[in-house]
Amino acid sequence: MAEDEIMKEEEAAEAQAGAADAASPEEERNDQEAEADILRSKVKELEDTVADLRDKALREAAETENYRRRLRTEKENAVKFANEALIRDLLDPLDNFSRAIEAAERSKDFDTMQQGVVMVEDQIHSILSKNWGLESYSPEGEDFDPSDMEACMMKEEEGLEKEKVLQVFMKGYKLHGKVLRPAKVMVGKPKGN
């Protein structure tokens, strides 16, 4: 019997140990709720992060669009007002033209009118040359150069070895060395060529 009692005691001890190891349903529920709370807080944290990133992305997209609009507006204004300084420079000569015309109407003096117009022309040429890099050229007597001259007429001439400019019909203009308008000229060709 002693052996039976020992076995029963051992089984009872094992049963107690197993009962201690096995969690009660309430403890299991508490553990599951704790895990669920942890997962909910992580989900909330991730949702907040996503919301912040979405907000930042929307703000950056809006800033980029505003920057593009601002650049477009500045470019349109730059094109629209590109000649503002040139026009401002030409206002004084325009006023001087008006004064010359008024003076000529009052005095009916052609010489005074001519003097006024010549002065205004000189003023315009001076402004365009100094402020804007415009230079005029009149190549009369020079060798013909088709890169900055346009031949409007050709005439054979005795004694010429090369094509020469005999007459300038219209002066040419260069802007910072680039031909804006070629000089329109009559070209003399050597006779017999």
Residue 171 domain flag = yes
> Of 6-10, 65-69, 93-97, 123-127, which gets the smallest average pLDDT?
6-10
Domain membership of residue 13 (yes or no) is no
Asked if residue 75 belongs to a domain, the reply is no
Per the structure block, which two tokens stand in for 127?
Answer: 């402004």
* Total count of residues recorded for the chain: 193
Residue 151 lies in a domain: yes
CB atoms inside a 10 Å sphere around CB 100: 19
Crossing angle of helices 110-132 and 84-107, in 10° steps, is: 170
Give pLDDT tens digits for 139-172: 999 999 999 999 999 999 888 899 999 999 999 9
pLDDT digits (tens, 9 = 90+) for 17-65: 555 455 578 888 888 888 988 999 999 999 999 999 999 999 999 999 9
What are the structure tokens assigned to 76, written together? 């349109």
In whole angstroms, how far apart are CA 129 and each of 71, 88, 94, 172, 182?
32, 15, 17, 14, 17
- pLDDT in the model for residue 54: 96
Range of the domain at 150: 135-193
Does residue 186 lie within any of the structural domains?
A: yes
Contacts of 153 (CB under 8 A, 6+ apart): 186, 187
pLDDT at 191 over 80: yes
Q: What is the pLDDT of residue 22?
A: 52
Q: Decide if 174 is inside a domain.
A: yes
The Cα-based distances of 100 to 27, 57, 93, 106, 160 in angstroms read 108, 65, 10, 10, 45
Q: Which CATH number characterizes residue 171's domain?
A: 2.30.22.10
Q: Is residue 56 in a domain?
A: no
Burial class (CB in 10 A: 0-12, 13-18, 19+), 164: buried
| Residue 113, domain member (yes or no) | no
Number of folded domains that form the chain: 1
| Of the candidate ranges 6-20, 61-75, 164-178, the one whose mean pLDDT is the lowest | 6-20
